[in-house]
Amino acid sequence: MKKITFSADEHLIRQAKLVACTQGKSLNTAFREWLTEFTGLSGSAKKAERLMRRLGLSKQVAVSPATK
């Protein structure tokens, strides 16, 4: 897993940590979950991507951000 650094308002970071804590997770875990959802790589999208790779079609299909 690659480590990255983001900048954000201190108040937002405190609030995000509190929200994550109420959900029983760390801010890092919450962010990874959000990133998975944001990129569309969860659930059926992930299954479809794996199928496309198995079929050798993954490079032929491009998803435009405007279609999401």
Q: What pLDDT, on the 0 to 100 scale, is given for residue 68? A: 47
31-45, pLDDT tens digit by residue?
999 888 888 766 777
Instruction: Say whether pTM exceeds 0.85.
Output: no
Q: Dump pLDDT digits (tens) for 3-34.
A: 989 899 999 999 999 999 999 999 999 999 98
CA distance 38 to 40: 5
> Are the beta carbons of 67 and 39 closer than 8 angstroms?
no
Residue 60: which pLDDT band, with cuts at 50, 70 and 90?
low
Q: At what angle do helices 10-22 and 27-38 cross, to 10 degrees?
A: 90
**Four-CA torsion 46, 47, 49, 55, nearest 10 degrees:** 170
Nearest-Å Rg of the Cα atoms of the chain is: 16
pLDDT confidence bin for 58, thresholds 50/70/90: low
